[in-house]
Amino acid sequence: MADDLFKTAREAMGRAHAPYSKFPVGAAIRADDGKVYAGANIEVISFPEGWCAETTAIGHMVMAGGRRIEEVAVIAEKMARCTPCGGCRQRLAEFGTPDTRIHLCDASGIVETVTLAELLPLAFDSEALK
Ligand code: THU
């Protein structure tokens, strides 16, 4: 069932702009609207200005009207089971729930599925600002 997410993430990885790290990453989000949003990492010659595949996918989702993340697939060309970076964990938490599933993939499919709660325990969340 999440196989379509894996395939979309793998296709998105092909559109990465990663000439500096040479570490292409792809991500695909299934949102509450039932749609799938893809993203790849986009790097910039001023290195800190680049951003991750998950962030691109979140931007696509938000601009299309999706708000909740149900599941995500992440794939990196050079690494089996690439996990989202710390910043992306926080961004995913902004639009996900502790139960949101993160599928970690290699070139042939999903290798492992974890929850957002497992990736970002003790998350800083909106309770903090109340
Ligand atoms: N990267 C992602 O796109 N997602 C991650 O979860 C980990 C890292 C990208 C950022 C940078 O373009 C490259 O991988 C190397 O760090």
Domain of 118, CATH number, reads 3.40.140.10
- pTM of the predicted structure, to 2 decimals: 0.96
> What is the largest distance, in Å, between two alpha-carbon atoms of the chain?
44
R_g of the chain computed on alpha carbons? 14
Question: One of 43, 54, 70, 71 is an active-site residue; which one?
Answer: 54
| Annotation says 118 is catalytic | no
For ligand 1, atom 6, the nearest C-alpha belongs to 84
Residue 95 in 3-state DSSP? helix
For residue 115, count CB atoms less than 10 angstroms from its CB and return exposed for 0-12, middle for 13-18, buried for 19 or more.
middle
In this predicted structure, the answer to whether residue 10 has a pLDDT above a threshold of 90 is yes
- Counting from 1 in the atom list of ligand 1, the atom nearest the Cα of 88 is 6
**What tens digit of pLDDT does each residue of 86-118 get?**
999 999 999 999 999 999 999 999 999 999 999
| Parent domain of 98 | 3-129
Q: Which residues contact 118 (CB under 8 A, 6 or more apart)?
A: none
Q: Which residue has the higher pLDDT, 76 or 126?
A: 76
Question: Is ligand 1 within 6 A of the CB of residue 61?
Answer: no
The total of other beta-carbon atoms located within 10 Å of residue 128's CB is 7
Question: Residue with structure tokens 């998350």?
Answer: 123
Q: What percent of the chain has pLDDT over 70?
A: 99
State mean pLDDT over 117-122: 96
Distance 26 CA to ligand 1 centre (A): 9
Q: How many domains would you assign to the chain?
A: 1
Rounded to the nearest whole angstrom, what is the distance from the C-alpha of residue 83 to the centroid of ligand 1?
9
Per-residue tokens: 11: 């296709």
pLDDT the model gives residue 27: 98
